[in-house]
Amino acid sequence: MPAPLVRVDPTQPEAAAIGEAAAVLSSGGLVAFPTETVYGLGADALDARAVARLFEVKGRPADNPIIVHVASPTDVDALATHVGATARVLIDRFWPGPLTLVLPAAPVVPEVTRGGLPTVAVRMPAHAVALALIAAARRPVAAPSANRSGRPSPTTAQHVLADLGERIDLVLDAGPAPVGVESTVVDVSGTTPVLLRPGGLPLEALQAAVGAVALPAPGAAATARSPGTRYRHYAPRARVVLVEGRPDAGERVAAAVRRLWDEGLRVGAMVTSEGAAGVPAGAVVRVMGPRAAPEVIAANLFAQLRELDEAGLDAIVVEGVAERGLGRAVMDRLRRAAAGAG
Ligand code: AMP
Ligand code: MG
């Protein structure tokens, strides 16, 4: 039987629905809920058994730690042994919001939640439903994205039901998640902040707030610090072909579509408003948004990947975007969706 889906108002969530969901969390259950980034699958972060079930339901590798969500900036002090000056600046400036901070973990955080690391990742989401749920549960909530591991993240309650409906206890539905990509993850456990994953808070905003932010070179050192970045991610069933580079991206998308047609494949395309004109008639097309508005493209990204997948295509050609603002997170997700696809 699929999990019950409970509709809630996105800005003034009904107390009865929140109370019901909080009771599920308190008894060790799993609740999917909206945040401003994507839908999360929540468990009591301090209940090792509940978090272990969360890993199992998602099919998530045990060494990929889960972000702990809090309802107030002061809640971080119970989860971390030390919150340094840079972390305080970032919390003051960007919480609630799509910024996750990696800090030295307090002993209260179970090893399973931390994926075996000595650190814990913490964030305060900017969504009334998420905040009400965490506050009502009166405990921190461990919540990765509410999808099967490796699939595109869910930005609607319907995406959650499609992936995990039979395996979880409750879904709170407040409509589409507004940002559409996951949080930015920054390690502030050392002296210089390190960007572990680009996300919903642009790197430019971080740099404006704290100055230098280290960008680890891709490779072994980076994946050791942020284990999640090692795995194939965000991938639809169809092969994703990413066309990087502008301004001739539109023509290169068209060429890629024709080449795949020649292989006898059913092909779809995701393009910018500017790139749409060049796509040959006959391809299934989704327009992500204008090149100058990467936040629109981010909001559409995962839903369009899922839509094209449902259209039964063999391949999806995607036009790359400039790595500015949310464009950096969009390109990170697209590169991962395309990596090793086949
Ligand atoms: P997800 O919950 O699927 O959005 O992924 C959370 C991301 O944060 C993954 O890339 C994790 O590897 C990363 N993360 C979570 N906790 C930690 C931590 N303690 N240290 C480093 N990275 C972390
Ligand atoms: Mg995820």
Ligand at shortest distance from the CA of 185? 1
Judgement on whether residues 152 and 298 belong to the same structural domain of the protein: no
d(CA 191, CA 143): 27
Q: What is the CATH classification number for the domain harbouring 259?
A: 3.40.50.11030
Judgement on whether residues 290 and 172 belong to the same structural domain of the protein: no
d(CA 121, CA 185): 8
Secondary structure E strands in the chain? 5-7, 31-34, 39-44, 68-69, 99-104, 119-123, 141-142, 170-173, 184-187, 194-197, 239-243, 267-272, 284-289, 315-319
If you average pLDDT over every residue of the chain, what do you get? 93
d(CA 200, CA 184): 6
Range of the domain at 273: 239-339
The DSSP letter of residue 65 is: -
Judgement on whether residues 202 and 266 belong to the same structural domain of the protein: no
Determine how many CB atoms are found less than 10 A away from the CB of residue 54: 25
Question: 43 in ligand 1 pocket by Cβ < 6 Å?
Answer: no
Our mutation pick for probing the ligand 1 site, out of 33, 39, 51, 66, counting the most ligand atoms within 8 A of Cβ, is 66
Bridge partners of 318, per DSSP, are 242, 270
Our mutation pick for probing the ligand 1 site, out of 197, 302, 332, counting the most ligand atoms within 8 A of Cβ, is 197
Judgement on whether residues 204 and 247 belong to the same structural domain of the protein: no
Domain end position, chosen among 201, 225, 249 = 225
Atom of ligand 1 minimally distant from the CA of 117: 19
pLDDT at 228: 64
d(CA 17, CA 278): 47
What residue owns the CA closest to ligand 1's atom 13?
226
pLDDT at 305: 95
HSE value, Cβ hemisphere, 13 Å, CA-based, for 119: 21
How far is residue 2 from each of residues 22, 30, 163, 201, 212, measured CA to CA in Å? 19, 13, 11, 33, 47
pLDDT band at 46 (very low <50, low <70, confident <90, very high): very high
In a domain, 233, yes or no: no
What is the number of domains present in the chain?
A: 2
pLDDT in tens, 275-327: 998 899 888 999 999 999 999 999 999 999 999 989 999 999 999 999 999 99
CA of 67 to the centre of ligand 1 (A): 6
DSSP string, 200-220: SS-HHHHHHHHS--B-PPTTH
The torsion angles phi and psi of 175, rounded to 5 degrees, stand at 85, -175
Atom of ligand 1 minimally distant from the CA of 185: 8
Judgement on whether residues 271 and 206 belong to the same structural domain of the protein: no
Q: Is the pLDDT of residue 229 over 70?
A: no
Question: 120 in ligand 1 pocket by Cβ < 6 Å?
Answer: yes
In a domain, 234, yes or no: no
Question: 304 in ligand 1 pocket by Cβ < 6 Å?
Answer: no
Ligand at shortest distance from the CA of 149? 2
Q: What is the CATH classification number for the domain harbouring 78?
A: 3.90.870.10
d(CA 65, CA 163): 20
In a domain, 230, yes or no: no
Judgement on whether residues 122 and 91 belong to the same structural domain of the protein: yes
Judgement on whether residues 209 and 251 belong to the same structural domain of the protein: no
pLDDT in tens, 167-206: 999 999 999 999 999 999 999 999 899 999 999 999 999 9
Our mutation pick for probing the ligand 1 site, out of 54, 57, 67, 181, counting the most ligand atoms within 8 A of Cβ, is 67
